[in-house]
Chains A and B, each alone.
Chain A
Amino acid sequence: DVKVTQSSRYLVKRTGEKVFLECVQDMDHENMFWYRQDPGLGLRLIYFSYDVKMKEKGDIPEGYSVSREKKERFSLILESASTNQTSMYLCASSLSGGDAYEQYFGPGTRLTVT
């Protein structure tokens, strides 16, 4: 059974803290993604990675960075957390090179920054 796991379901951090969100997939997928989900806005892509050490900015990269040192792991980093980064964060992975390859999602991390 395919699986994407995220390090925490719920996280509470203080303003200015450095925050790490970890995502691991066991499907040997090339592509990995980080989204944030806010009510009324749907899912918005923060960053994605199509190979180890490769990354590209998504639609809302400001305030975030990512790291992919191993194929199965994709980390999202909030260098200095702010209250407007309170959100649900979803990680996903997919194969590359095929039309119908869907993305597989993790359970999400609900981050609250106080």
Chain B
Amino acid sequence: AQKITQTQPGMFVQEKEAVTLDCTYDTSDPSYGLFWYKQPSSGEMIFLIYQGSYDQQNATEGRYSLNFQKARKSANLVISASQLGDSAMYFCAMREGQYGATNKLIFGTGTLLAVQP
């Protein structure tokens, strides 16, 4: 069965340092997509980055990059030069199927990141 696992309930990082948030997934579908969302304390979910299973290169969006290791079924989020505003809950999510009509996502349990000055 499809599953997303985030093994780090919480993490600390010093301001300006890089941090990696772990995400592993399990699926038997050869076509899938991986998403990362940020949820600040205010509660809204903010889309950060997307990686498709057939994408040859790791996705990047500004200070966010996705370390996609297909053979290991991992899709870790790397945040470079952490800022205080990065303190939030981070969720990894997966969509199965190509051109998924419903775009249904499965979410992990999240990692709470605290950036320290």
Give A contacts to B, CB under 8 Å.
Answer: 31, 33, 35, 40-45, 48, 50, 56, 58, 88, 90, 92, 94-108, 110
Contact = CB atoms under 8 A, between A and B. Distances in A.
Contacts of A103: 45, 47, 103, 105
A45 B102 contact: no
Interface residues of B, number: 28
Interface string B92-116: 0100001111111111111000000
A99 B99 contact: yes
Nearest to B95: A99
A50 B33 CA distance: 19
Contacts of B107: 35, 42-44
Contacts of A33: 104-105
Nearest to A29: B103
Contacts of B44: 105-108
Interface string B1-34: 0001010010000000000000000000000010
A71 to B, nearest CB: 15
Interface in B66-117: 91, 93, 98-110
B102 A90 contact: no
B43 interface: yes
Contacts of B9: 40
19 contacts: A31-B103, A40-B109, A42-B6, A42-B91, A42-B108, A42-B109, A43-B107, A44-B107, A96-B101, A96-B102, A97-B99, A98-B99, A100-B33, A100-B50, A102-B47, A102-B50, A107-B43, A107-B44, A110-B43
Contacts of B108: 42
A51 to B, nearest CB: 10
